[in-house]
Amino acid sequence: MIDKAHILLAEDDPDFGNILKQYLEMSGYTISWAKNGEEALGLFKSSTSSFNICVFDVMMPKMDGFTLAEKVIKINPEIPVVFLTARKMKEDKLKGLKLGADDYIVKPFEADELVLRLHNIIKRTSVKKTDRKIEKTIKIGVYDFDTHRLELKLNSTVQRVTEKEGELILFLVTNKNQLLKREEILNAVWKNDDFFSGRSMDVFISRLRKYFKEDVRISIESIRSIGLEFKMDM
Return the CATH superfamily for domain 2-129: Response regulator (3.40.50.2300)
Residues in the chain where the model's pLDDT stays below 70: 1-3, 48-49, 87-100, 125-135, 234
Q: What is the pLDDT of residue 187?
A: 85
For 66, half-sphere exposure in the C-beta direction (CA atoms, 13 angstrom radius) is 11
pLDDT in tens, 43-52: 998 875 688 8
The residues of the chain that CATH labels 1.10.10.10 are 137-232
CA distances (Å), origin 94, targets 73, 202, 227: 17, 10, 20
The residues of the chain that CATH labels 3.40.50.2300 are 2-129
Could you tell me the fold of the domain covering 137-232?
A: Arc Repressor Mutant, subunit A (1.10.10)
pTM over 0.85: no
